[in-house]
Chain A
Amino acid sequence: MRYTDEFRDKTLAQGLAAAISAEADRQKAYRFMEFCGGHTHAISRYGLEDLLPANVRMIHGPGCPVCVLPASRIDMAIRLVERPEVTLCVYGDLIRAPGSQGQSLLRAKALGADIRMVYSTLDVIRIAEQAPSREVVFFAIGFETTTPPTAVMIRIAEKKRLKRLSVFCNHVLTPSAMQSILENPKIRNIGGAAIDGFVGPAHVSTIIGTQPYELLAEQFGKPIVIAGFEPLDVMQAILMLVRQVNKDRYDVENQYSRAVRREGNRRAKDEVSQAFEPREQFEWRGLGFVPNSGLKLKRAYARFDAEARFAMHELRVADNPACECCAILRGAKRPVDCKLFGTLCTPETPIGSCMVSSEGACAAYWTYGRVRDDQVRRTS
C-alpha cells in the first residue's frame, strides 16, 4: 500500500536499529516516554522493542484518550443516557471503558440506553437530523486532534438550527498533561532515574504545531522529538532522542516534518478557540486534577453544552485501590507490576482504563507484549 509500506520497511528499520545500538552509550540507560497511545500501539503492533538495545527502554505515557478519562465522567454519561429522551453518540472503544462498579456504556446499552457508535462528528449531525425529537448528545473525548471536528460539528449544528444537539465535552490538552508529568517529583524520578526524553505526539502536533513543546523542553531540560505513528517514524525519533541525550541537548525536534509545522494548523486552532475555552482544572485518570488541562464550551455556545443543558452533576469516583493505572499512565510502573494485570483485569473484564483501548498500555502489553517478556524470562 503506497504511503504506508514505505514507512514500514524492514531493511530501513534494521538500519535504524543498528544506528541506535551503535550510538547508545552502553554505560547509560535511556528512558523515553512515548506520550501518545498511537505510538504505544505502533511499538506493540510492530514489535519495535525487539529491535531496541536493552538499555533503551520505552515508557508508555498517558496519551490514550479513553484511558485517561476518569470513571466519574463515564458514570456521568451513563446517568445522562438513562434519561429516555437522550441518544448518546460515542467514538469506538469508549463504549467499553469502565465506569465505577463494573458499569460501562456497553452495559447501559444492553439495559436499553440509546447509544450509537460514530466514526465522525458528521454522523452525529446525521443522527440529530434523522431524529429531531431526540436529545442527541455527543460524548466528545480526545486530545487536540479530535477537538476541531467537535468545533466544526457545533458550527454546523448552529447553522442547521439543530436545537436538540449538544456536547458532553471531555476534550483535554496535551502540553498540560506533559507538564504535570514533568512536575511530579514521583514521576520525574522513576527508580532513581528520570525520564530522559519524549517521543512527542503525531496527530496532536499536526494541529498545535511544535511550538507549545518548546517551553516544556527548555523548562525541564528534556528533549522532545515529535514523531509520526508509523514504525519507522518511531525508530527514527528514538535515534534522534539518543543523539540529543548523548550531547546533553534538550531541543524540540520534528521528525514528522511531512505533516507537522511549527505553527500547526491555524484553521483548526481558530475553529477550536472560537467554540472552546480552558477549564480551570480537569480530572485525568492517573494524573488527578490537572490545571488548565481540559476544555469547555464558551458561554456563547452554552446551549450546546450538555453539562448545562441537563444540569449534569460532577461525580467523584474512587478507583479500585489495587489498580495501578495511575502509576502506569505516568510511566512510574509497568503493566506487569500491577497485581490485577492478567488476573482480575483482562481485556474481557477491564478494571482500569489502560486495559480497555488497544492503545492503552496494559491492553497493548496484554495483546502484543507478553510473549516477549516470557522469552526474556526463559533466557535469563
Chain B
Amino acid sequence: MSVQGYQRKLDLENGRVDLSHGAGGRAMAQLISSLFHRAFGNEWLARCNDQSAFDVATGKMVMTTDGYVVSPLFFPGGNIGSLAVHGTINDVVMSGARPLYLSASFIIEEGFPLSDLKTIADSMGAAARGAGVYIIAGDTKVVERGKADGLFISTTGIGALAHGFDLSADKAMVGDRVLVSGSLGDHGVAIMSKRQNVAFQTEIVSDSAALHDLVAVMIAAGGAGIRVMRDPTRGGLAATLNEIAHQSGLGFRLQEAAIPVKAAVAATCELLGLDPIHVANEGKLVAIVAPDLADAVLAAMKAHPLGRDAADIGETVADDHKFVQIATSFGGGRIVDWLSGEQLPRIC
C-alpha cells in the first residue's frame, strides 16, 4: 500500500463538486491537481506552493482585479472561464501594459458538474496560453447549494508597463478623436439570447477576446498619441465615455451613423427596446487618440483581425457639463447618459 493510499479517480464525466472539494483535504488536492493544474499547466503551479514568485520587469507594474458572475455560464462564443481570463487581461492592457500573470479564485456551488468545471478550466487555460499569460496562483472554495449561482470566478492580473508610458482618462484633450475597435453590443446580445426569460435565436456570438495584440499594434502606430484606452464592458460605450468625460472634464460629440453595430444586434435591440451603446462588450476597446495620429492608429487597428471593423466615431469637445452628445443619423441631437441601473425594456 502506498503512503498516499488509494484514491478513486475524479469522475470528470458524471461527477459533481461536493463540500469535500473545498475542505482542504485530499479531495480538494485531487480536484486542484487533476483539473486546474492540468488545465493551466505551468512551472509555477507545478511547484504546488501557496504562492508563486516571479521576476519583476523594469518599469512599472500594473495590477487589476475583477469578479465574474455571468449567467448563463456558457454562452455563444465563450464561457465564464474564457471571459474571466480575457476580461482581466483587457483591464491590464488598457494601460498599455504587457500582461504577464493571472491568479484565479473559484467559488463553486455544491453539486456543480465536474465536466462543466473541466470545460471552464480548459477554456481558461487556452485563453491564457493564447495571450502568453500564465495563471500562477489560485484558490478553490465550495459553498452549499443555493449560496452561489453555480460558479463565481475572480481573477487578478499583473502586467508590465514600459518606462514613460502613462495612459489615463485625464490625458484626453479637446479635439482628440474617439476610435472604437469594432461592432458594439455583441457580447450583451449573445448573453441575453440565452437568458431564460428572453431566450431567442440569433447568430450573434460574444466578442470575448484578449486585446493585448491589438493594443500592441496600436501603440506601435500611435505611441504617446494614444491618450486613453478602455474596454467598454458593463454599461457599454455610453458608460465608458461618461466615465472618461467625468475624469477628463471634457465632453464628447459622436456621430451616430459612424458607430459600428451589427445588423442582428441592432435588430435585437430594436425588438427588446434596448440601445446598443448601453450593451456590454468583452472584446472591444475605445481609444482617445491625438487628432494627428488618429488615422494611423485607425489603419493599424483595421489591419488587425480584432480591429477589422474599427471606426472613428467622434471627438472630444470642451463642455462644462461633461455631456456625451450624439448627432443622430436622423439629423437631431441627444445626450447619451449613464444608465441608472440595468437597461430595462420599454413596455409600449
Contacts and interface: CB of A to CB of B under 8 A. Distances in A.
A47 B331 contact: yes
A17 B331 CA distance: 10
Contact of B330 (A1, A47, A117, A142): A47
B333 A358 contact: no
Contacts of A118: 197
Contacts of B144: none
Given A4-B270, A45-B328, A117-B197, A372 B344 contact: no
Interface stretch (B103-111, B152-160, B183-191, B334-342): B334-342
A13 B340 CA distance: 31
Nearest to A204: B348
A65 B348 CA distance: 8
Central interface residue in B272, B329, B335, B337, by most chain A CB within 10 Å: B335
A361 B329 CA distance: 22
B132 interface: no
Interface string A48-67: 11110000000000011110
Interface in A91-119: 91-96, 106, 116-119
Interface string A344-378: 00111000000001110000001111111010000
Interface stretch (A35-43, A257-265, A284-292, A302-310): A35-43
Contacts of B9: none
Interface of B: 197-198, 263, 266-267, 270, 272-273, 321, 323, 325, 328-335, 337, 340-341, 344-348
A142 B348 contact: yes
Contacts of B266: 1
A254 interface: no
B329 A10 contact: yes
A367 B329 CA distance: 18
A359 B334 contact: no
Given A47-B332, A47-B334, A1 B263 contact: yes
13 contacts: A1-B266, A13-B330, A14-B331, A47-B333, A47-B334, A51-B331, A93-B345, A118-B197, A142-B348, A347-B340, A359-B347, A370-B335, A371-B321
Nearest to B327: A47
B348 A119 contact: no
B347 A142 contact: yes
B348 A93 contact: no
Nearest to A127: B197
Contact of A231 (B263, B330, B346, B348): B330
Interface residues of A, number: 57
B337 A367 contact: yes
A8 B329 contact: yes
B337 to A, nearest CB: 5
Contact of A93 (B321, B337, B346): B346
Nearest to B331: A10
Contacts of A372: 333
A38 B348 contact: yes
A46 B348 CA distance: 17
Contacts of A65: 347-348
Contact of A348 (B197, B335, B340): B340
B347 to A, nearest CB: 5
B269 to A, nearest CB: 10
- Which 4 A-B pairs rank lowest in CB-CB distance, beginning with the nearest? A47-B332, A347-B340, A92-B345, A368-B334
